Amino acid sequence: MDLLEKSPGRHVDDQREVAEPRDSRVTRRTLLRRAGLGIGTVLVAGSGALGYRAYDQGVLQVGDGPAYAPWSSWREQNGLLRLVGAAILAPSPHNAQPWLFEIGSGRIDLYADRARWTGATDPFRREQYVGLGAALENLVLAAKANGYAPQVTLLPDGSGSSHVARIELARSSPQASALYAQIPNRHTNRYAYVQGKRAPTAALDAMAGLNNSATGDARLFWFAGAAQRSLIGDLLIEATEALMADPDQSASDYAWFRQNWDEIQRQRDGITIDAAGLSDLVAALAKLLPAQSQTATDNAWLAATRNTHTKTAAGYGIVAVRDADHNLQRLQGGRLLERIHLWASGNGIALHHMNQLTERADREIQLGLAHRFGDQLTELMPSGWQALSTFRIGYPTHTPHKSPRRSVAAVIVT
Ligand SMILES: Cc1cc2nc3c(=O)[nH]c(=O)nc-3n(C[C@H](O)[C@H](O)[C@H](O)COP(=O)(O)O)c2cc1C
């Protein structure tokens, strides 16, 4: 999605090699219309004032600057800080990074930063705790790789407390794992996936087998057959429409959308244009033009869900637990989700978290609405299981870009 493609020497014009998602073409037309420009105008103007704006907006500096440094410096930290460096590379809802770490003698305590919350999108904080579970999994994998035997106590001060986990760290022999090695390579991939290419059963089984005693009862269920994909795809589109029609959910989504280079470097969180799965050209134009409105952002997201995300999903996975309201089970589910994402990353499989269904189901409960999506989820899940977190997988057409991260120093409490 950047002007400078990942592979060296690849040029913007080479975009045609990969079928461009339909929504990208629509978005580009919309962008150009909004700007009152034809494409030639943009390119000619690029040598003058627009060239400066390109610099100012980081059009050319995809993944550069301090906001992205934690992806390369994570192993350079000393002692237990190195484990925190791995934890903060975990996924989190809207890249809110809702974590704080306290370093003690031979232990790390993980806390929820309750202020870093996505509000109406996550009314009961399920996603916040799933993200904290993902960070905990990275920390544990890094502890083992760096010569510690981690002993985890979840919610040591009770399930309502923001004290999420205590990790005791006795010295041990290092145990690097394939999952650990993927920590800096794992990114949420919002691009189109290769049309019609299904994941082999062995891969689906391997991912479903990533649960262990640390992930408790959490389990992965696959929805990969044609009828299931079509059913979940349609539900995701309807749930996206419902989210857009809910002013508070739409606003809380938009609040985490970062469109400005300075803002990204200052805040080092949120969803960026580079991470949105747009083609390189559309992303470059989006950065050059004035910030997109909430409505335009909603419309682009709905178009991408309809024309790209659901159209090219090779299958959907749902991490489920016995009780999705239970913070401890959410943490365990988050640990499993991160193991799945790391495994996918190491095996050439793209993964995109898509939680519109649970976000709407929680909102229905919060507002006392009819349980439209909640009932659909109950019907989908085997008896005794509740959906916690949903994602699509497939084979990548593009390498996803990094998302910003706050520094280790910014998430340490004393
Ligand atoms: C619990 C949870 C829920 C998420 N829900 C969504 C979602 O509904 N849609 C989406 O595009 N990304 C979703 N994400 C992905 C985050 O936006 C992503 O992890 C974050 O922006 C950081 O990017 P990275 O995963 O590439 O590091 C979710 C992540 C987590 C952990």
- CATH (domain of 120): 3.40.109.30
Does ligand 1 come within 6 angstroms of the Cβ of 94? yes
Clarify whether residues 138 and 287 are in a common domain.
no
Clarify whether residues 84 and 73 are in a common domain.
yes
Q: How far is the CA of 181 from the centre of ligand 1 (A)?
A: 20
Q: Is residue 304 part of a domain?
A: no
Clarify whether residues 387 and 353 are in a common domain.
yes
Q: Is residue 381 part of a domain?
A: yes
Question: Which stretches within 309-414 are classed as H helix?
Answer: 327-346, 356-367, 372-380
Clarify whether residues 32 and 48 are in a common domain.
yes
Q: Is residue 131 part of a domain?
A: yes
**For ligand 1, mutation pick of 191, 353, 389 (most atoms within 8 Å of CB):** 353
Q: Is residue 262 part of a domain?
A: yes
326, 208 Cβ separation under 8 angstroms = no
Q: Is residue 350 part of a domain?
A: yes
| Atom 28 (ligand 1) nearest CA | 93
**Chosen domain end from 266, 292, 318:** 292
Which pLDDT score, from 0 to 100, does residue 53 have? Answer: 56
Does ligand 1 come within 6 angstroms of the Cβ of 57? no
Domains in the chain, number: 3
| Atom 12 (ligand 1) nearest CA | 353
Does ligand 1 come within 6 angstroms of the Cβ of 130? yes
Clarify whether residues 328 and 212 are in a common domain.
yes
Q: Is residue 190 part of a domain?
A: no
Q: Which domain holds residue 78?
A: 69-184+401-413
Q: Is residue 270 part of a domain?
A: yes
Clarify whether residues 328 and 273 are in a common domain.
no
Clarify whether residues 17 and 100 are in a common domain.
no
Q: Mean pLDDT for each consecutive 10-residue tract of the chain (414 residues)?
A: 24 26 36 35 40 63 90 94 98 98 98 98 98 98 98 97 98 97 98 97 98 96 98 98 98 96 96 95 90 95 98 98 98 98 98 98 98 98 98 98 98 96
The three-class DSSP label of residue 148 is strand
Q: Is residue 109 part of a domain?
A: yes
DSSP character string of 262-322? HHHHHH--SEESTTTT--HHHHHHHHHSPPPPHHHHHHHHHHHIIIIITTT-SEEEEEEES
| Atom 17 (ligand 1) nearest CA | 94
Clarify whether residues 217 and 351 are in a common domain.
yes
Clarify whether residues 178 and 34 are in a common domain.
no
Which pLDDT score, from 0 to 100, does residue 63 have? Answer: 81
Clarify whether residues 288 and 264 are in a common domain.
yes
**Chosen domain end from 265, 292, 319:** 292
Does ligand 1 come within 6 angstroms of the Cβ of 277? no
Q: What value, to the nearest 5°, has the Cα angle with vertex 1 and ends 243 and 289?
A: 75
Clarify whether residues 238 and 329 are in a common domain.
yes
Which pLDDT score, from 0 to 100, does residue 334 have? Answer: 98
Clarify whether residues 271 and 382 are in a common domain.
no
- CATH (domain of 229): 3.40.109.10
